[in-house]
Every structure is written in C-alpha cells, then in structure tokens.
Structure 1
C-alpha cells in the first residue's frame, strides 16, 4: 500500500487578501456562484465586487439558508445551473464551506474556500459533512479532490470573536498526538494510504507553532489585530492541522470529542474546545510522560482552553454519564481504534477522570 499525502491546489493567506480574489481565481472560470451568509454578505460583497470590477466575470451571490442539508445543496445547485455558473466560492464558517464543497462536487466545478473564522482545520480538506434539515448528522461526503484554492484573509479572521481562533488552537492541538498514534499503529490515513514523512513533519510543526505563538496570538486577537503570531496561528489552525489530520490520521482525541457530544452540559462548547480536553485524555490513555502532559495543560491554560470537566460544563461529575461518554468513544468505526493498543470503554473512562484531576491541579 502506498504512502499518500493530499493538499489543496493552492493555499493563500494574508491581511486584506480577499481584495485579490479576482486575481487568484482568474484561471478557474468566469461565472462565479458565491455562497455566503446574510451577515457575511454585508461584510464582503463590496470587497469582492470591487476585486472583480475590472474583469468581465459574472458574480451570483446566494445567501446560505443555514443548514448543509441535501435539500439546501440541491437548491444551490439549481441556482448554479440557472446562472450558468462554472466556479463555486464559499465564504463563511464550516457549514457554508461544506455546502459549497458539495455543490462543486455534484456540479463537477472548481471550488474556492474562503473561511471567515479559523476555528477548525476543515477548510483544506476533501470532506463535507451533510446534515438533515433539523441539523442532525446525516453523512460524510468524501470529495474527489481537495479545494482548488483556500483563501484566508487574516483581517477578516481577527474580526471574529477571539474564542473561535482559540477553539481552532484546540482542534490543532490534537494533530501531532493523533498523527503520532496512527504512525505507531501503522494505520491508514483519510486518503486510504500510509503516513508520509511530510505529513508527520507538518503535524509536529503544527504543535511547535501552537506552543511558540498561541499565547501571543490570543493577546492580539483579543484586540482584533493581525500580528505575525496571528498569521502563524491561523496557518497552524487551518493549513498545518488540516494537512496533518487528513494525511496522518485521527485517533483518541477526536473520538473523545465525539463521546462528549452525548452530554447536554457540553453542547455549548465549540469543536476545538472539546478536542483540547480529549487531547489531554488521550495522553493519559497512552501514559505519556508527566512533562508532556504538563506542557499541554499549561498551553491550554495560557490560551483559555478546557483542562478539566468543570471547564467542559460538567460541574458535578456523574460517573455513569462519564461511562456513557466512554462507551460512545469506543463504538465500532470510531477513530479511537487507531490507537496502537486495544482501548476499552473502561480505559477511556479512567483516562477522562484522571485527565480531570491533572487539569484541576
């Protein structure tokens, strides 16, 4: 079996870079369907129209209805066809970007992804998550390829609440440790190949960047300003973590995140916030050195990520609930089975309670 690493066609990041979108997309087509939220429309439509003002391109803006469902995807496909579009641009958060990816997939068109937050590592991936109209998980849509272009305007990113960038750091925090576990267990990655040296190196660089730049970036984004540290963290959250998870693999931290979704007390948390605590629990699960555990906990404390169950919204620990979380982590097909040893619900239960103690010291 081959070693495989996958990338977006082009990754572009910088302050005010959305102003150059016409230049970056000129080789893809000339009739653009731009999928955006109502609030996003107010913020970015003028920037995009100005960028394309000296070209002959036709722009069709369409407001996203809020859910990446099959019916919404089909509605957007209809708009795409009616306007004879040949390129899809998705601008916004995760569900808008997934809907745009899905429309481009079904219409066999190029896709441009322009995230307005850096809260997860999904923008670069060849994956879309489809939900029901009620917002329940439906299925994963595995795409033919990664996005043609990922365009990240860091001035727009710092305009979002700081908590979103911090959540992205939590998601990125797991990348190296999950990759390390998959390498030890010789598991296939999301492209059905084995891990390359490049993917391993990118995952480690992601972690090193978080430690070096995370706290500085938090301080800057608290004031809604772009600094070099912010640029580095946005790249770690979006590109390094995206390449790392897709080409190296997922293991316990994301499975533990999925387990915590069974508890209503955790529903207020962002994805990366749950993943951050899941990373601490994974390190307990694999009996990582105390120095490494403390390094991860100290990082979480410095930027404001959860380190214990109280931070996760669980103020009174019900051990039956924690076992339900552990059981959900270990269902067949979960990524926790990519760990280099057999994992049982009791193992996860024990790791979660121990992680809570360590993160409460």
Structure 2
C-alpha cells in the first residue's frame, strides 16, 4: 500500500496578511481574481482586500457570500465566472465560505487561495468541501482533485474573533494525534487513498504538544485581541498541523463519535470542535489509555472551556437508548471507526461515552 501525504502548495501565516493577497495571487499567475468573501469580513476589511489587488494591478471581482455552501450556489458562481479573465479563485472567511471557494475551484479547474479568518477547524488545508442543501441540511462530501494552492492566515484578524472559536479549533486539533496514532497502529487507509506517513504522524504529535504548551496562554491573549507568539503557534496548530495530520494521518473513533452525536438535536448548537473534544476523551476511554494521558486531555479541556461531560454538551437529559443510537451511527459502514486497531461495537462506544462523562465529571 502506498503512503500518501496531502498538503497545500504554500501555507502563509502572519499579521497583516490580508493586505498582501494581491502579491500572492500575482505569484499564482493571476490575470484576474474572483473573491468570495464573508459579509462581515468584507464590511471590515473590504478596503484592505481591494487595495492589495489594486497595488498589483490585478482585476478583482468581489462576491459577498450569503446563504449556504450548496451545489446550487456553486453552480451560480460558475455561471458568473469569466474564466478568460478571472483565473484565480479566492475564498475569505469562515468554513462555508472557504468550502464554496474550494468547490468552485474544483469544478472550474482553477487554482484557489483560501484565507481563513477564524481558526475554529482544520478544514482550510484539506482537499474536501462539505456541501449542504439550500435549507442547510447536509448534502454530501465533495472530494477535491488537489489541496488548496495557497492558504493564508492573518493572525491579527483571527485573534480578534470570538475566543470560543479559537478554543473550538483547539478541541478539533486535540483529536488529531490520537486518531493518527490509532490509524498508524491499524495501518488504515486515510482520505488520501494511502496509509499515513511518518511526516503526518510527526505533525500530529507536534500539534498536540503545541496545544498543551501554548494553548492556555493563547486563549488569554486572544481574549484580549492580541496576536502574540502563543496565538501564532496555536493558529498554526489548529489550521496547518491539524489539517495535514487529520487528512494524511487519518481519522478514527473521535470523529466517528462526533458524527454520531450530531444526530442528537440537543447538542446541535455545540461547535464541531467542542463535540470532538468530548469525543477524543471517549476514544481514550475506548482504547483503555493510560491515566496520565486521560488526565492531560481532561485538564486541557477544562482550561479551554471545552466539554468533558454530557451535561456540557446539552445531553444530560438524553436517555441511554438515544445515546446508543448515536453510538450505532458512529459504527456504520464507511465510518472512521473502522480505522481503529480493533473491532468496535456500538455497545462499546456507548460504554466509552458514559465512561468519558464520569471521568469528566470527577475531580482529581
């Protein structure tokens, strides 16, 4: 089996990068850029974005992103594109804005530059878009032919976002090493189409180490809107280290359990990374991990205000039959649960969820 690693061609991070997007598009050979921009970001930084392209004499068409990351919206944008003059796609904003830009790039056969303005997930570096219906229901995963060409993270903007979003990104990134380790032990095939690499596992480990060493300080600094060294480190961990680690290292029980929990409407307002944090603890319970490893995860989640109990997920009143249904969903065919190095049953998942809840509620 081949070992495969996916990665953006370039990952660029720093303060004030929003003003240099034109420079990077020029390096991509842009004759013109079509930018899909989150409306809030456009209202705050529209002048900086436009000015950066004007200074490089690159024609820019700005399209405010509204609605859903849906196939209908992607097709509408495709109809607006004049590929003869606009030959680079740019996405600036949150997850759905970026996924829309990636999908347009995929169908148009054009390069794409992504500019995440929050660090709440590791999706910006991935070769995948999640599409929804116009009413907001999950539609499909769209595997892309390649990773984004360039990902640019402006940490001055990210540091000003609500700190809960940075913490959620840390919760998502927290699972990366444990899932990649499970996939390494089982020899699982990742979404790249091959097994994980030494590099992917090393990046996943560095991601975890960065969270544990810099996470607390980063949350304090971001809470004050400051893009300090700690914030810079955690942004890189959330977006790049976790992005490469999950895609090329592989997903396992934590994301499988997360996917099952999404069936429970009581926790649908809980952010993706917040659910993943609890599911990471559940994976460790499922594995029978060492107590020092479990304690490290619980302590980290507490300092980052990430959920470690069912009550913190809004699930305190959910009976075990419904939790079992979520556990069953986590074990369906095609679930990353199959990447665990041992066979897992829904009953074992339920027991791991309940054990995680008990451990999260205890004080050592």
* Structure 1 and Structure 2 fold alike (TM over 0.5): yes
2:116 and 2:153 in contact (8 A); partners too: yes
Q: Write the deviation string for residues 144-166 of structure 1: whole angstroms up to 9, x where unpaired.
A: 11111000000110121000000
Partner of 1:128: 129
Do structure 1's residue 360 and structure 2's residue 343 form an aligned pair?
no
SS in 2 for 1:12: strand
1:259 and 1:325 in contact (8 A); partners too: yes
Partner of 1:333: 334
Summarize the alignment of residues 289-308 of structure 1 with structure 2, pairs less than 5 Å apart.
Answer: 289-308=290-309
Question: Whole-Å Cα distance in 1 between the matches of residues 90 and 145 of structure 2?
Answer: 17
Partner of 2:19: 19
Partner of 1:52: 53
Deviation at 1:207, TM superposition (A): 0.4
Do structure 1's residue 309 and structure 2's residue 295 form an aligned pair?
no
Q: Write the deviation string for residues 177-209 of structure 1: whole angstroms up to 9, x where unpaired.
A: 000000111001111111111011000000000
2:281 and 2:297 in contact (8 A); partners too: yes
Summarize the alignment of residues 264-303 of structure 1 with structure 2, pairs less than 5 Å apart.
Answer: 264-303=265-304
Q: TM-score, normalised by structure 2?
A: 0.97
Question: RMSD in angstroms over aligned alpha carbons?
Answer: 1.1
Q: Write the deviation string for residues 199-256 of structure 1: whole angstroms up to 9, x where unpaired.
A: 1100000000000000000101111111100000000000000000010100000011
Deviation at 1:317, TM superposition (A): 4.3
Deviation at 1:289, TM superposition (A): 0.7
Deviation at 1:101, TM superposition (A): 0.5
SS in 2 for 1:118: coil
Partner of 1:177: 178
Question: Whole-Å Cα distance in 1 between the matches of residues 106 and 344 of structure 2?
Answer: 36
Q: Write the deviation string for residues 258-290 of structure 1: whole angstroms up to 9, x where unpaired.
A: 111111110110000000000000000010011
2:23 and 2:56 in contact (8 A); partners too: no
Deviation at 1:112, TM superposition (A): 0.3
Structure 2 unaligned runs (5+)? none
SS in 1 for 2:35: strand
Partner of 2:192: 191
Question: Whole-Å Cα distance in 2 between the matches of residues 260 and 119 of structure 1?
Answer: 19
Partner of 1:3: 3
Deviation at 1:23, TM superposition (A): 1.4
Question: Whole-Å Cα distance in 1 between the matches of residues 352 and 83 of structure 2?
Answer: 54
1:65 and 1:72 in contact (8 A); partners too: no
More deviation in 39-48 or 90-99? 39-48
2:285 and 2:355 in contact (8 A); partners too: yes
Deviation at 1:85, TM superposition (A): 1.0
SS in 2 for 1:123: helix
1:66 and 1:96 in contact (8 A); partners too: no
Q: How many residues align?
A: 361
SS in 2 for 1:359: helix
Structure 1 unaligned runs (5+)? none
1:123 and 1:242 in contact (8 A); partners too: yes
Deviation at 1:62, TM superposition (A): 0.5
Q: Write the deviation string for residues 50-96 of structure 1: whole angstroms up to 9, x where unpaired.
A: 21222221000011122011110011112222883111000011111
Q: TM-score, normalised by structure 1?
A: 0.98
2:14 and 2:154 in contact (8 A); partners too: yes
More deviation in 4-13 or 38-47? 38-47
Deviation at 1:40, TM superposition (A): 1.8
Q: Write the deviation string for residues 12-67 of structure 1: whole angstroms up to 9, x where unpaired.
A: 00011111111122122121001012222112211112212222210000111220
Partner of 2:247: 246
